[in-house]
Amino acid sequence: MKDFISMLDADRLFIENIISLSAFLKEKQKKGELYRPLEGFTAALIFEKPSTRTRVSFEVGVYQLGGHGVYMDTQGSQLGRGEPIKDTARVLSRYVDLIVIRTFGQERVEELARYASVPVINALTDQEHPCQVLADLFTIWEYKGELKGLKVAYLGDGNNMCNSWLVGAAYMGMRFYAATPKGYEPLEKYVKAAKEIAKSTGAEIVVTNDPEEAVKDADVIYTDVWASMGQEAEAEERRRIFTPYQVNGELVKLAKPDFLFMHCLPAHRGEEVTDEVIEGERSVVWDQAENRLHTQKALILKLVRRVRP
């Protein structure tokens, strides 16, 4: 694998390797042991969307591995003045060892990867958020010790998170229930791909409009904001439509007693989730956020083939 621009680029073995390497890197850090196999390594970090966790975890991760990250946004680069993405790809490939991009259209990442001669990582598009799903799977594995057969209830918008989760869950043989309002389902492309993968992994893929069906006996409850970046004008209408999908104290009673609550953050408390749940004892959102650092370090090492555990 040269690039990681979609969960469809992965498979079960790749995800298992990322989880194993993430655990190794996390343990190293916990012990205070330096692990810097990327001395002299450079990464271009292109952010065309605002970011907290993704930017900091990638920038810190590259540094902790011994490399240097060069942060770029549209205001401080020629991308903001209309330079073609393919030109940027070819130029940056002469300077750096890796390109990380957080942008709008999936096609921009695909074009960047097509013209770059160094690995490209999708740090989020409107269509996918594959790096987040790697961290999510690692977090669940840490708590549950396994992934296969676990039921994940995803509530809310069938957005980029849901698209990537469909595929990741299918690879790992999980039971993934996406509960969304009518008209807000995940893209059919990812539903079809997940169901095809499920034929060989034993996964169960269900898209429903019933939040209670999804949450019943769930091992994991997952949600995301109802209005993503660029959808602010729809926020009021979305609040009205999505209210039945709020993760609250009453709804989570339908899940297993030891369920995990997850959210990719930032959270709009009082909308998609109540304070009672996100601050509750079943919430693992802070471990989930931390694990972005460890899984992204693992991903970088896998793509640049400098793994020396």
Asked, as a colleague might, if the bond just before 211 is cis with ω within 30 of 0, I would say no
Whether CATH 3.40.50.1370 fits 7-129+292-303: yes
From 102, 108, 238, 263, active-site residue? 102
| 264 flagged as catalytic | yes
From 264, 288, 294, 296, active-site residue? 264
Domain-wise residue ranges, the chain: 7-129+292-303, 130-289
pLDDT value of residue 306: 58
Whether CATH 1.10.150.20 fits 130-289: no
From 3, 126, 157, 224, active-site residue? 224
pLDDT value of residue 308: 46
Same fold, 7-129+292-303 and 130-289: yes
| 68 flagged as catalytic | no
pLDDT value of residue 72: 94
Residues 209, 182 contacting (CB under 8 angstroms): yes
Binding annotation for carbamoyl phosphate: 51-54, 78, 102, 129-132, 264-265, 292
The residues, ordered by sequence, that sit 6+ positions from 305 with a Cβ below 8 Å of its Cβ are none
Q: Which of 180, 173, 142 shows the shortest CA–CA distance to 262?
A: 142
From 55, 108, 129, 175, active-site residue? 129
- Under-70 pLDDT residues of the chain: 80, 229-231, 306-309
Binding annotation for L-ornithine: 160, 224, 228-229
From 3, 64, 108, 132, active-site residue? 132
pLDDT value of residue 239: 94
| 55 flagged as catalytic | no
pLDDT value of residue 232: 73
| 132 flagged as catalytic | yes
pLDDT value of residue 230: 67
| 162 flagged as catalytic | no
From 238, 263, 292, 294, active-site residue? 292
| 308 flagged as catalytic | no
pLDDT value of residue 309: 41
Question: How many whole angstroms separate alpha carbon 101 and alpha carbon 107?
Answer: 12
